[in-house]
Amino acid sequence: MKIPLVGQPNSGKSTLFNAVAGFRSLTSNFAGTTVEYTRGQARVDGELLDLIDLPGIYSLAACTAVEKVTRDFLLNDDWDVIVNVVDASQLARSLELTLELLDLESPLVICLNMMDEASRKGMTIDAHELQMALGVPVVEAIGSRGRGIIETFRAAREYAARGGRARPFVYAPEAERLLAELAEKIAAHTNAQPQGALKTALAPVEDTEWNTQSGVEPVFTPPLRVHSCGGGHLCAGCSMGTPAVKAGHDAPLRSWAVVSPAVAADHEQHRYAESALAGLAVLPGQSSITLPASAARNFPRDRFQAMQWVQCDPLQIRGERPEIAEDVEWAQKSISAHSGLPADAAISAARHAACLSVFERVTRLARPSVDWREKIDRVAMHPVWGYVLLLTVFLGFFQLIFNVGKPAEDRILNLFDGVVAALARHMNPHAAVFAGVKGAVLGTAGALAMVLPYLLPFLAGLAILEDFGYLARAGYLMDAVMHRLGLHGTATLPILVGYGCSVPAVMATRLLTTRRDRFIAAFLAVLVPCSARMSVIFALVGFYLSANYALGIYALNLLVVAATGNLLARLWPEVSPGMLMEVPSYRLPAARVVALKTWWRLREFVLVAAPMLVAGSVVLSLVDYYGWSHGINVGLSPLTAMLGLPRSVGLTLIFGVLRKELSLMMLMQALGTTHVLGVMTDAQILIFTLFVTFYLPCMATLAAMMREVGWRLTLGASSALLVLAVVVCLGARGVLALV
């Protein structure tokens, strides 16, 4: 049985998944994208369940790549029952996605997770009442303590086995008629037969089957009615006189009446009365409209798609499905005409009102208890102490990684040097084969020396900060700064991570929604000196010149980052409207989730970057063997001459692309001495270091970038970085000449 897990970000989906699916789960990408999901298997009551942990989304609208693939997965793939994981402490907001899922009219079970957090917030949620309101099974859970998890999957199994199925919230008849008509038109264009998962759901459903599905307890209770009268008075028919709905009445909006699934025939009349009140009066001459739901019910996928398209941006529709654009726009106009709102706003307002009234029906609120979480935020989000803490946390973090990583790295490299020495004894050290093998061994050593000492603690630490909820606070604090760079607070993470290692930094740009933001963030993240470049800066400039010069390079780098960000933001003006980010509650990270997260990201590095490192190392080893280094130095001589560097450093710059700190080691080798000052002047050391800091990112980073933003932009970024490095170095040369 295949069970997709769908939920909003931070709903504890992964905790639930990892609690049962275990370490053997696989991450995969959706075909042709970098959006990931995780698959795993779990045995519940003797049956093997296939679990699919879909990425967290706030809605099914296809705005971002993540939402699009999730929606397409739900529409096109085969699965048996959805488990919708809901953060009980965010119930009102979470229900928005739940209501969209109901529209799929397929088997659905709700896992009401984080009940402990909800009660800490002073919320008492009546799960039974929620089950009544939504018409699908609701299971209470505290995922972090393993409670309710098995029960959730058991309920899902049973619900699917007995043929249970969610019913959508039904909009006012006028709206439903429009939707059904649009669905038909879209279907005619697509001319596709219903397929996939929903095949089972497509057979006409008899209401009798529906009402007696469990045989014991009717899942549905009286219909939920939200109506918006549009008039200033409180209408007598409004049984939902809750504050939220009243607020809706007062506000200048007229949303559609929404009625719950169970409505069926007996409430037909009431609904007509309501829709009239709602300003959705049945059009003259069409007073005999019958409920079109029968058609819609037979083709839930079509109704669902019609619903989704109606909420889309007309421009997007014209781009993606030009053949249906006209029909959708017609429907949108009709909806606007009836509701006085843009089509998407009308639908989401109606849905929102429904969410709030379900929320108010099932929840009782008391005073929240103030505990350590609130106290942390008083410091962590404070206008002064927040920044002090941010700086402390990240400096401490990098310090820790560097102190742990450096000795470990030396040991790994020594170990592999031993391997090469041993190989030299058993092979002909003058053969090309040996050069190749040596290159491969040293490449592997390089990859390992990067992964184990630096990347592993780095990714683990990052996963802890992320799961704890601190990264969101960092984004909040840095939003204003990031705006100067043409980005938002969400882009803080990649840039901070860039100071550690560019590879995870580039991978972290995946959090950003638009391609533009991803590109700018990745560009700036690789511009920031990573820890490998830091070692070059401190070992050359810091050692031979002074620590102040080294810090000066960092300051110069910050200026260049700011200027570049500003320039890029101008060249590629912003389309996204700004930061809108959930501030999650602090949560103690679960060791298991952190371990898995770290492992998956590490695995990705190994798959993407390590092959490049090994291959590059082999090539360079052969270059060395065949004595092409002279040719390369000559080839690069225009560059080295322009920068006023000795010709023999040309090759070290090529090595630097493989791994940044290699340019340091190779420099000593190329110059044939460890006393760099004897061969290079202060100015040359400074220029060389500046160039290494700014020019091309290392190969592993390039591979990661290629994956995230595509090869065109990677190529563009690389050329831009090369030009930038030359410009910076020439500028520095000019300044030095003056001094």
Residues lying near another protein in the complex (CB under 8 A): 58-59, 61, 63, 89-93, 96, 121, 123, 230-232, 243-244, 247-248, 250-254, 311, 313, 342, 344-345, 348-349, 352-353, 355-356, 359, 377, 381, 383, 386, 472, 475-477, 479-481, 483, 488-489, 576-583
Rounded to whole angstroms, the Cα distance separating 458 from 443 reads 21
Q: How far is the CB of 382 from another protein (least distance, A)?
A: 8
Tell me whether residue 345 or residue 423 sits nearer to another protein (CB atom): 345
Pairwise CA distance, residues 496 & 498, whole Å: 5
d(CA 49, CA 352): 33
Task: Give every CB contact of residue 567 below 8 A, 6+ residues apart in sequence.
Answer: none
Our CB check for another protein shows the closer of 476 and 519 to be 476
Could you tell me where the beta strands, DSSP code E, fall in 20-79? 26-29, 36-44, 47-53
> What residue type is 159 in one-letter code?
Y
Cβ nearer to another protein, comparing 583 with 607:
583
Nearest residue (CB) to another protein, 92 versus 452: 92
Closest approach of Cβ 478 to another protein, in Å? 8
Instruction: Kindly state the smallest distance separating residue 339's Cβ from another protein, in Å.
Output: 12
**CA separation for the pair 164, 135 (Å, rounded):** 10
Q: Compare residues 489 and 697 and give the one whose CB is closer to another protein.
A: 489
User: Is the CB of residue 24 less than 8 Å from the CB of residue 40?
Assistant: yes
**Min CB(349)–another protein separation in Å:** 6
Longest dimension (CA), the chain: 97
CA distance 712 to 722: 16
Q: How far is the CB of 476 from another protein (least distance, A)?
A: 5
Residue 196 vs 230, nearer CB to another protein: 230
Q: Which residues contact 402 (CB under 8 A, 6 or more apart)?
A: 531
Residues in the chain: 739
Of 518 and 733, the one with the shorter C-beta distance to another protein is 518
- Say if residues 87 and 351 touch (Cβ distance below 8 Å): no
In the three-class reduction of DSSP (H, G, I as helix; E, B as strand; rest coil), residue 284 is classed as coil
Nearer to another protein, 244 or 420 (CB): 244
CB of 90 to another protein, least distance (A): 5
Closest distance to another protein from the beta carbon of 483 (Å): 7
Q: Which is nearer to another protein, 337 or 384 (CB)?
A: 384
Q: How far is the CB of 291 from another protein (least distance, A)?
A: 27
Position of tokens 């018409």?
Answer: 135
- The least distance separating another protein from the CB of residue 378, rounded to whole angstroms, comes to 9
Q: How far is the CB of 243 from another protein (least distance, A)?
A: 8
Q: How far is the CB of 488 from another protein (least distance, A)?
A: 6
Q: Which two tokens stand for residue 422?
A: 């041993």
CB 295 within 8 A of CB 184: yes
Give the C-alpha separation, 698 to 620, whole Å: 14
Reference 587, options 471, 467, 462; nearest CA is: 467
For residue 286 the two structure tokens come to: 């069409």
Collapse the DSSP code of 124 into the 3-class scheme (helix H, G, I; strand E, B; otherwise coil) and give the result: strand
Least distance to another protein, CB of residue 375, Å:
14
Distances (CA, A) of 54 to 57, 112, 613: 9, 17, 32
Contact 45, 27 (CB under 8 A): no
Q: Encoding tokens for residue 238?
A: 């409004």
CA dihedral 383, 389, 393, 395 (to 10 degrees): 90
- Our CB check for another protein shows the closer of 256 and 359 to be 359
* Closer to another protein by Cβ: residue 121 or 297: 121
- Considering beta carbons, is residue 200 or 514 the nearer one to another protein? 514
Q: Positive or negative, the Cα torsion across 13, 17, 18, 24? A: negative
Place of tokens 């972090």: 144
Q: Token pair of 113, please?
A: 């997770």
> Which residue number, 473 or 597, has a Cβ lying nearer to another protein?
473
Find out whether 196 and 77 touch, Cβ atoms under 8 Å. Answer: yes
Closest distance of CB 186 from another protein, Å: 20
Q: How far is the CB of 315 from another protein (least distance, A)?
A: 8
Strands (DSSP E) found in 145-276 = 170-171, 225-226, 258-259
Residue 647: CA count within 13 A, CB half-sphere: 9
CA dihedral defined by 8, 165, 309, 99, rounded to 10 degrees?
Answer: -40
Tell me the one-letter amino acid at 175.
A
**Could you tell me the smallest distance in angstroms from the CB atom of residue 236 to another protein?**
18
22 or 241: CB nearest another protein: 241
Least CB distance to another protein at residue 329 (A): 13
Least distance between another protein and beta carbon 43 (Å): 35
3-state secondary structure of 195: coil
Nearer to another protein by Cβ, of 472 and 636: the residue is 472
Q: Phi-psi bin for 673: left (phi > 0), alpha (psi -120 to 50), beta?
A: beta
Shortest spacing between CB 484 and another protein, in angstroms? 9
Q: Which is nearer to another protein, 490 or 714 (CB)?
A: 490
d(CA 35, CA 529): 28
- Our CB check for another protein shows the closer of 344 and 624 to be 344
- Is the Cα torsion angle 432, 437, 438, 444 positive or negative in sign? positive
| Element spanning 247, H or E | helix 243-250
* 3-state DSSP assignment of residue 464: helix
Give strand pairing partners of 140.
112
Number of neighbours of residue 61 by Cβ within 10 angstroms: 17
Q: Closer to another protein at the Cβ: 482 or 687? A: 482
Tell me the three state secondary structure of residue 128.
Answer: helix
